[in-house]
Amino acid sequence: MGAEPLFDRLCLIGAGLIGGSIARRARETGAIAREVVVSARSASTLARVRELGFADRVEEDPAQAVEGADCVILCVPVGAYAGVMAQIAPHLKPGAILSDVGSTKGSVLRDLQPLLPEGVHLVPAHPMAGTEFSGPDSGFSALFEGRYTILTPPEGTDPAAIATLREMWHRCGAMIECMDAATHDKVVAIVSHLPHLIAFTICGTADDLSEETRESVLKFAASGFRDFTRIAGSDVAMWRDVFLNNRPAVLEMLARFTEDAQAFGRAIRWGQEDFIVDRIERGRKIRKELIEHKQA
């Protein structure tokens, strides 16, 4: 006999890759919620969610969607949080858990805490899983299997609410860690945000080449460049908001990377073989450690 559902009603605001994957997992296992309610801004997205059938109920109005929900998860770009929160805050059920899936956490506390109703428990979360695809068709129930979800509850958060959300992500197949929002934002700046910044930049550089050279780049693209284009194919609104809402940490990591890249360039210019070999070996070491941690 399967586990009893954690929630009577789970509400997802947003139905892209992450929201759609949570909803599919909930419907597939029956262990997360008895009812899954989905709300999205676009009429075409709402229509597609109905066609795909991964929600029990679809609501255009987010305020109506959150009524009576035991858990509400924001699955929209982080730049939209303040506006969504203003709409839903008066309608959140006392005792409900409010969470999210955004990849910046300082901005989540900034935008949600001031409007948080008394008795509603804020437990921000960031599933470290994804693909370059977006929209309601992109989700799948196994997305979070073997991947980390980081919880960043503010000080004083009800331990029972944290434990419940931890269990929800466990039932999604994720491994769970807790840390403070500032540490989270610095960590993801180097492991996620900076790599995306580099990928967008490299693809922009290629796009600015003369037409003849650009065509050759596309025709003969090696696996390294293809990997960058996969990352650069990510959702525009989401990544615009990530860079603007994790500005200090991204700029700090970019400055460190720029100094290291310039040092590498100098080593190439002056034929400093030992420096070059050291950087390559360190890269191989990181890759080996990722594989050992089953995060490759």
| Domain containing residue 11: CATH number | 3.40.50.720
The CA distance from 73 to 167, in Å, is 15
Residue ending a domain, choose from 136, 164, 179 = 179
**Alpha helices per DSSP H over 89-143:** 106-112
The residue ranking higher by pLDDT, 24 or 294, is: 24
What are 12's two structure tokens? Answer: 């997802």
The CA distance from 246 to 240, in Å, is 10
Q: Which residues span the domain enclosing 72?
A: 7-179
Q: How far is CA 241 from CA 12, 59, 148, 236, in A?
A: 19, 25, 22, 9
Three-state DSSP state, 56: coil
Q: Are 223 and 260 found together in one domain?
A: yes
Residue ending a domain, choose from 158, 179, 200 = 179
Q: Are 261 and 283 found together in one domain?
A: yes
pLDDT of 1 reads 40
Question: What are 235-277's pLDDT values in tens digits?
Answer: 899 999 999 999 999 999 999 999 999 999 999 999 999 999 9
The residue ranking higher by pLDDT, 98 or 130, is: 98
Q: Are 46 and 144 found together in one domain?
A: yes
pTM across the whole model: 0.89
Strand order in the sheet with 121-122: 57-59, 33-39, 7-13, 71-74, 97-100, 121-122
274 φ/ψ angles, rounded to the nearest 5 degrees: -60, -40
Contact 227, 164 (CB under 8 A): no
The CA distance from 112 to 110, in Å, is 6
Q: Is residue 14 part of a domain?
A: yes
76 φ/ψ angles, rounded to the nearest 5 degrees: -115, 165
Q: Are 108 and 216 found together in one domain?
A: no
E strand intervals along 85-174: 97-100, 121-122, 125-127, 148-151
Q: Are 171 and 283 found together in one domain?
A: no
pLDDT at 3 over 90: no
CATH number at residue 285: 1.10.3660.10
- At which residue do the structure tokens 């997205």 appear? 45
pLDDT of 2 reads 64
Q: Are 151 and 205 found together in one domain?
A: no
Task: Report the mean per-residue pLDDT for the chain.
Answer: 94
Considering its fold, how many domains does the chain have in total?
Answer: 2
Q: How many residues are there in the chain?
A: 296
> 71-74 and 97-100 as β-strands: parallel, antiparallel, unpaired?
parallel
The CA distance from 169 to 145, in Å, is 10
Orientation angle between helical segments 236-245 and 194-207, nearest 10 degrees: 120
Q: Is residue 1 part of a domain?
A: no
Residue ending a domain, choose from 179, 214, 249 = 179
Q: Are 95 and 136 found together in one domain?
A: yes
pLDDT of 221 reads 77
Question: What are 62-89's pLDDT values in tens digits?
Answer: 999 999 999 999 999 999 999 999 999 9
Q: Is residue 117 part of a domain?
A: yes
Contact 78, 245 (CB under 8 A): yes
